[in-house]
Amino acid sequence: MCGPLCTFGIVGGLSLSKLLGINDLTLGIWVGALILSDSLLFFRFLSQKKVKVFGGFATILGLFYILSFAPLYKYLIWQSPKICGMPRVILGSLVGMFILFFSDWVNHKIIAKHNNKVYFYYQKAIVPLLALVLVSVIIEVFIC
């Protein structure tokens, strides 16, 4: 479950990305993808155990998001660079969630057109990963 471990990972990633010169927006993309995938895995786990959650997946996603960023509140408000008043890590995480969701949706559409067969091994993992890498490179090279 995400929570303290994700928070330490985000803090470590922010610190390491500063040393390596990686933008907080790029880091946020990967953090958002991690939060979305962790919350989806946890929701599937609860569904298999026949545990009902009020609000369903949206509640779990919101909880994971809050548990990941709440301990960083003071840093995000006072020290973090911002875009349009929003901390870059938060904005990047929202973009990362969208990219992961959209790339997975496109991948499922491609597989459905191919009679529910993948084109190459590990396609379900490689397509979203390539989408995240591509957007990260575009952000690092052209935007930041």
Task: Read off the pLDDT of residues 64-114 as tens digits, 9 standing for 90 and up.
Answer: 999 888 888 777 777 777 888 888 888 999 999 999 999 989 989 999 998
Residue 119's pLDDT band (boundaries 50, 70, 90)?
Answer: confident
Q: pTM for this structure?
A: 0.82
Please write the tens of the pLDDT for every residue from 30-66: 889 889 988 988 999 999 999 998 999 999 999 999 9
DSSP 8-state secondary structure symbol assigned to residue 140: I
Cα distances from 24 to residues 108, 109, 126, in angstroms, run 30, 32, 24
Q: Is 51 left (phi over 0), alpha (psi -120 to 50) or beta?
A: beta
Given its phi and psi angles, is residue 71 left (phi above 0), alpha (psi -120 to 50 degrees) or beta?
alpha
Nearest Cα neighbor of 126 from 102, 103, 94, 93 is 103
